[in-house]
Chain A
Amino acid sequence: MKIEISRGKVHNEFSQKVEEISGQNLFACYQCGNCTAGCPVSFAMDLGPHQVIRYSLLGLEKEVLECNTFWMCASCLQCTSRCPKGLDIARIMEAIRLVILRKKERLDHLEVAELSEEFLERVPQIALISGFRKFTS
C-alpha cells in the first residue's frame, strides 16, 4: 500500500523509457479518466489506462508490467482521439509492451518451430501475428 516517493523513484528510468518510446509526457496527464471511460476493453483490464499512466509516472514499474492493461489494448485509438491533453495513450500502451518485449529474460518466449501444424491451422492469422510479436521479439 505504501509507496516511498523520492527523486530516484518518481519519473525513474522506467518512466523515462516509456516517455522516450512513446514520445509522450507522462506529467501532462490530467488524470481525468476519459481514456478509461471510453475504452471498449477497459472492463477486462486490471488497471485503467489512466491508472497505468499514473503508476508509470510514479515509477511503479513492477505494478505496471504485471498488469494486463496494455495487452488488452487493441490500439483502437479511442483514448488517443479523446484525450483533452493530446496524449497518445495508445502509443503509451505500445511503449509499455515494447519495454517488456525488449527485456530478454522473458520466460514465455515462443519457439515457432515447436508449434504444431494442427494448431497453426486452427489459429486465426491475426492472433498468430500478435502472438509472434508478443512472444518472439
Chain B
Amino acid sequence: MGKVGVVMCPCELEGMTLFDPEVLVEGLKGRKDVLPLIHHQPVCSESGVEAIRAFMEGNGLDRVVMACSKPELFGPTFKKALRQWGLNPSLSGVLGIRPTAERKGSDDLQEALHVIEEGIDEIKRRKPAKGEKTPFVKRAMVIGGGITGITASIDLGNGGYEVLLVDRLPSIGGRMLQLSETFPTLDCAQCTLTPKTVETGQHPHIRLITYAEIESVSGEVGNFLVKIRRKAAYVDWEKCTGCGLCQEKCPSKVPSEFERGIGPGKAIYTLSPQAVPNKPVINPEVCRYFTEGKCRVCEKVCLTDAIDYAQEDTFIEERVGAIIVATGFDLYRKEDIGEYGYGDVPDVIDGLAFERLNSASGPTAGEIRRPSDGHIPKEVVFIQCVASRDPERYMPYCSRACCMYTAKHARLYKHKVHDGHAYIFYMDIRSMGKGYEEFIQQGMEEGILYLRGRVSRLFRDNGHVVVWGADTLTGKKVEIAADMVVLATAMIPSRGAKELAEKLHIGTDEYGFLTEAQCKLYPVESGVEGIYLAGCAQGPKDIADTVAQGNAAASKVQALFAQH
C-alpha cells in the first residue's frame, strides 16, 4: 500500500493557526507511511485545490487525509474535487481539528495529533470498492410529513424522482393540520394544506410510509440503506376503506394528543376527517380490548374485516440516495413551567390548544369556549415568550413565530367574541416577514391591548385566572382577572429528533435542533453529504420560512441527483 497524503490547512481565519501546520507535521515525523503537504494558503482557495491535485498526482497518492477547522464546510467540496480527479472519495477523510479550550495548549496539540493519526489509520484500513462502483440510487427519503416534508416531497416528485415520505403519525400534515388559520392572510390552514396532502397522497412518484419510524441508517450519499419500523396499526390498511364506522362506534373516550388534551379522541382514530392516508390506527394503551381484554366493537362493526389485533411491527429496508430530515417541533410543555401553575391551573392552555379551540374541525367546532366550564371567555390574556428568551431557566432563543401567531389568536378571538377583550403581554414584537408588521398593527388598531412586560405569576381565583404582570410602558404593575390564558410556549425539537440525528450521524445543537453545515451559506446541508435539513427541525421558524427550506432542500437533492 502506498503512503497516505496528509494535507494541513493553514486557515488563519478559523483558528487553525493555533496549531502551526509545521508543528503538526513535525509531530507526524515518526510515521513512514504518510506524506504531508503544507500549503501556505488556505486549501479551499483556488491555488490550494490546485496544490492538492498536484500533490496527489505528483506522488501517485490515492489516499488522503485533510485536517482543517471546518470539515463540514470544505469536506463536500473536497470530495467532489477528488471525484473529478478520478480518485475515490471513500479513501479520503476530512478531519476537524480545532482547539478545545480558548487558546492552544500542549494538550490540545496532542489531541489534534491523535485525531490526525487515527484518521490516517482509518483511511489506511479502508478498501476500495471492488469492481464496478455501486450505482447511485436516485430516489430520496423525506423524514417527517409536515408541511416542510410535503413541500420537499412534491418538489422532488415533480422533478421525476421517486420519494419515500416517512412519518411517525398515521397521516401526513404535521403541525399545520392542527392550526385553525394562518397569518398574515388568515387563510384556513386546512383549506391551504389539504390540497397539498392530497396531492402528496396521489402523486405517482411519492410513496407514503406513515405510522413508521427510522430504525437505522447506514451507507453514504447515493447509497443509504434505511431500515424502517412500521408500527402495528392493528388495522389492515389494504382492506380498510376508511369509512370511519369503527371510530364512530369505539366506546373509549380519551384525551387526544392531536386535540392538545382539550378534546376527546377515540382509541381507534385518524388525525382528521381529511387524513391522508385516511386509515385508522388503534392506540393499544387506551383501547379497551388491549387494556381490559374485552370490547372488540371495532372488529364487529368493520365491514371489510380489516381489524387485526394480532398485527405486529414490521420492518422495511429501503435504499435511497439522499435524505431530507424535516422532523419539526414540539411545544415546551406547560406542565414544566412552575410560575404558570405547572399545567394545573384550569383554562391556561398553550398556543396549539388555542388553535384546536378555534378550529372548525376542533372539539368546540370553532367556538371559543374555555375548557373548564365551556363558558365563552370575555377576557383573554395571551402571554408571549413563555419559556423562550429566558436563558436562566428555559430556552435562550426566540421562537420566532409566537409574536405573529399570538396576534393572530387575539384577532381571531375578537372576530368571534365581539364584546371580548384580548390582552397580550410581550417583551418585543418581532414581525419581520412580508405583511407581518401590518398584520400586528391592524390587530392593535382593532383594540388588542398590548402590555409590554412579562407575566410573573398565574393563579386561579374564583373561576378566574389571575395574571400578575407589568406594563413597563407606564411602569406599573398590572393585575388582570382573566377568563382564559393562552401561553405562547417555546418551540423545541420534536421528541426523538436527537436520537434520529445520531442514527444519521448528523449534528444537533445543545437544544436538540439539527445543525446545518453553516448557518448562512449552507442552511439546509447537514455535515453529511447527501443528508439535508429543513423546517423547524433545524430551528424555530414560521410556515413561510419552513416551506422555503423544504423547497431549498428538495432543489439541493435534485442538483445532487442530476450530477449522477
Contact = CB atoms under 8 A, between A and B. Distances in A.
A54 B471 CA distance: 10
Given A6-B481, A10-B421, A27 B474 contact: no
Nearest to B429: A30
B38 to A, nearest CB: 57
Nearest to B475: A1
A3 B477 contact: yes
B477 A7 contact: no
B477 A2 contact: yes
Contact of A27 (B378, B447, B452, B477): B447
Contact of A1 (B378, B476, B480): B476
B379 interface: yes
Q: Which residue, B444, B446, B448, has most C-beta atoms of chain A within 10 A?
A: B444
A42 interface: no
Contacts of B448: 27
Given A51-B474, A55-B474, A58-B471, A28 B479 contact: no
Interface in B424-462: 441, 444-449, 451-452
B478 interface: yes
A57 B449 contact: yes
A1 B470 CA distance: 10
Given A2-B479, A31-B473, A7 B444 contact: no
Nearest to B381: A5
Q: How many A residues touch the partner, as a band?
A: 20 to 34
Contacts of B405: none
Contacts of B445: 25, 27-28
A18 B516 CA distance: 54
Contacts of A11: 447, 449
Contacts of A27: 444-449
Interface in B397-427: 421, 423
B245 to A, nearest CB: 47
Interface string A1-23: 11111110011000000000000
Interface in A48-85: 51, 54-55, 57-58, 60, 85
Contact of A54 (B447, B473, B481): B473
15 contacts: A1-B476, A2-B478, A2-B479, A4-B479, A5-B423, A5-B478, A6-B480, A7-B379, A10-B449, A11-B447, A27-B447, A28-B441, A31-B452, A51-B473, A54-B474
